[in-house]
Structure formats: C-alpha cells, structure tokens
Structure 1
C-alpha cells in the first residue's frame, strides 16, 4: 500500500480517538462504546453484518444488532 499509514491517538481526557486516515482526512471518534455505536451506525447507513461485526468489533463479543434498519 502506498502512502502514509493512518495515525491514531487518544485525546488527553480519553474521550475521543483522533484518526488521520490514508487520505489525510482527520476524524474524532468517540471512545465510549455507548457513544461510538450511533456513530458507527451512521457511517454504515445500515445494520452491520455478522462479518463486519467480527472484523471491526471482534469475535470475543457476540454479534448484536445495534443499528436500526
């Protein structure tokens, strides 16, 4: 993959994860799962599939339908 790797850092208070993506786009993402779920659902624009859950949440947590269709 060409280009810089994404950069990740938490804010001093731990409330946000700051991300600079491959394309240089900057985002602040909530670190609190209760606040992160709505942001994930909004970005996806639909419920997550079981495969997406495993990829992004992990296999350690059972799949949950967290986004409303």
Structure 2
C-alpha cells in the first residue's frame, strides 16, 4: 500500500497499491471486506476522493487516471441501460456470493405486468 485517503465526508477509506489494486472500505462497516478494483493495467500510485465524496479517483501507470463512483446507485444508473438481462442465480453465486440473497441486478429489467 502506497497511498491511503479518507473521503471528505469521512464515510469511506481507499488505498492504492503496487499490487495493481485499488481498495475501498465503508468506515462504519469495518467487518465487511473492501470493494476491490483490480482491473488496473499497472500499479495504483495515488487515490483521492471528489469533494462531494461521490467519486474515487486513482492514478495508475503511464499517467492513466481512473474514476469510480462510490455510490452503487450511480454505478447502476450507468451500467443498467446497457444490460440486456439480470444476472442468473448461478452468476450471482459466482460473482456476488452465496451468502448474499439473490436479487434482480437492475430493476428496469424486471418483467412488468400488463
């Protein structure tokens, strides 16, 4: 770990590392594992939060800057319009975990009554 930052609102903590990982914790849920963003092309050198704490910014190798929403609802708003279906229960088990109850990936993909 080479950089650690708290969000301006004090609710989140992020770390940057030479293991190509950017990690983020919810401070008042210390029993939870961090959210790990390890899709970086190289080392993560620095982390910073936007002044409103809604985005996490990371500087990576070769001058690359990555921006991640810190609120899952913001992420869902960006991802859901490009999805064609919800996760299957098997995909949920693999990627989310069997210890978390299955729920629809995106509410907009639910079958609606006519």
TM, length-normalised to structure 2: 0.35
Higher relative contact order (CA 8 A, sep 6+): 1
Point out the structure with the larger strand share.
2
Larger Rg: 2
TM, length-normalised to structure 1: 0.47
